[in-house]
Structure 1
């Protein structure tokens, strides 16, 4: 019960813009995943980690 209260406090303490930015990033991420048919390049400059829609990570 205490954890639920603390979580609710944490979420309520954030302003609406925080959630809006997060949802916009999620939308962009999902659109990119769809465009690349499930593969999404997380970091182009270093190891090139591929993240699938299922969340599995593997190096190229």
Structure 2
């Protein structure tokens, strides 16, 4: 499935890259869709995204 990337999506991915939030950068669309489906508030959205990034970093740390 080909998806046209919005300019804001590209900017968000670029920001995630600069902040070294790799999991967020690589899964932005999926995570935003999940957050929308769950109707998260702005604070809940930040907690959700940061939690996902932390979880992935923990998984990566354990693998090493």
**Band the TM-score falls in, shorter-chain normalisation:** 0.3 to 0.5
**What is the TM-score with the length of structure 2 in the denominator?**
0.37
More helix as a share of residues: 2
More strand as a share of residues: 1
Larger Rg: 1
**What is the TM-score with the length of structure 1 in the denominator?**
0.39
